[in-house]
Structure 1
Amino acid sequence: MRAVLAEGLRRARAGGRRTILAAVGVALAAAMLGTAVTVAYSLSTGFERAADRADLPDVLARFAFAERAEVDERVRALPNLAAREYRTEFTRIRLRANGERTRRGIVHAVRPGRRGYAVVEGRDMRSSAEEVVVERGVARAWDLEVGDQMRIEDLGSTRVVGIAVGPDNVAFPLASAPRVYLSAAGLERRFGGRLPVNVALLWTHDRDRVDVTLQQARATSFGIADLRFVTRDGVRVLIDRAAGIVIALLVALSLVALGAAGVMLGVAAHADVQRRLPALGVQRAIGFDRRTVAGAHAVSAGVVALPAGAA
């Protein structure tokens, strides 16, 4: 056994560049496959954790701009309703920060109460139009930190006071538009007047009876234009669909890496066998048995593959 190990280690050291090349191929394939498995697990289990942490509502309703009192008169009478909050969503807003800019920004003006997002760094905004909370995907893509400045169309310079996770959509840049949050009260003081609303967040007593709440909401929605509902389960489907695309790409890249590593190792092994045939004949002639010769080559391959695969 010692002879087998010694011969295998000697062969691995003697391989030089070929050994390094084979190790790199195995490590690359293992890394890609490990990344695909890790991302798949994280995406499959992460939604519920993020949704619970952010207090994601059971129903998100979007509609044309309307007065808050008019909408609330209908919403508060819905059955199975535990809580409700309203937002004003502005789209196609120019945002600029840290050398990055877009004309497709989304601004949510939020009111005190349940937010539907979780602040993971910094703090939530106060009732000021000069403070902004940005989503984590935007912060990462634009390299933003708490304390940085962001310019928002018609508002000017604002200070990033928090970074948040809103699990009702995939993160930017998978989502095509970056989203930020401002204080509705601060905007109303800044520009005067009352902001209309076009988003309602609904929490129910019994999540299994959301369909009853939705039926009543549709029945009493006369006069509310362009009404659309997305349930928590619907959000999960949208996230899973986006996650499926990401996982499919990672798996495809992993398969390409595995195939490339296999071809590379196969070519290297064939060349190695052809080069070592005379040496194998000499070993057999001087008394090495088949088990020792085969074992030495197996140890040599293991020395390359196991550390690279573990990495």
Structure 2
Amino acid sequence: MPQRKGCSSLNEPRLVARKFLARPQIEGVGTVVRRSIGGFELKYFDPFIVLDEFSVTAPAGFPDHPHRGFETVTYMLQGAIMHEDFEGHKGTIEAGDLQWMTAGRGIVHSEMPAAQGTQKGLQLWINLASKYKMIEPRYQEVLSKDIAEAEDDGIKVRVIAGEALGIKSPIYTRTPTMFLDFSLKPGGHLQQPIPNSWNAFVYILEGEGIFGNMISQPSNSHHILLLGPGDGLEAWNKSSKLLRFILVGAEPLGEPLVQFGPFVMNSQEEIDQTIDDFENFANGFEKARHWTSESQIN
């Protein structure tokens, strides 16, 4: 039965099945990322393709590049990033803002610093089922002030996708997904349900926490924790400082995956066709022929 505002007691809390530190590396043009999914230690965690914690200072960034076959979720933690694409969509994602981009059949875009100093954020790539890979691109964008939030008993949550503490996100996810930004004050104790069939992980942004059960070793910033089977996450902040982490889960697709850089499809033949489409400005990439981002022109 509910204990408080959407927190329910868990019959089988998920334990930490695997844990490792996301180490810094260079991506794009001079951008420092900590890649926890999509790197050497973890190539794929169905349906999650990539998770980067990025840190970028001008003139570094991600100049014009393509995508096909998946979604990108950009969640800014500090500063601002300017986004523009060959469909004419342009905007700035500032601290606390969210952009959920469905690349679908094809998009070419740029993501570059829009402020002085260092810009920091998270970017998550979520695979699309084969039936959705060639849909038209679309965006869902939410300003920080409009992201659903709740607080209760030492716990604060920003609900990017899914539901927590009785609050739901308006974001529509083609692959059923939860993306929750939790902050636990010292002494805070969380019980968050997760559908049993979903894959789920924790990525720690700040502080130190205990996850899974009370006898687990504490985990701290920049660590990813892959969760085993169960019906939810239990977490404690037994330190004297704030603990902040994201909890992300989704229903696995269980489909073949072939990735070639920014293209993610179900077979090598589809990858070959995608490369051909991109090189020949066809089947979703037509507008790339005559488009260059303003950031690259300048």
TM-score by length of 2: 0.25
Which has more helix, going by share of residues? 1
Which structure is larger by alpha-carbon Rg, 1 or 2?
Answer: 1
TM-score by length of 1: 0.25
Which has more strand, going by share of residues? 2
Structure with greater contact order relative to length (CA < 8 Å, sep ≥ 6): 1
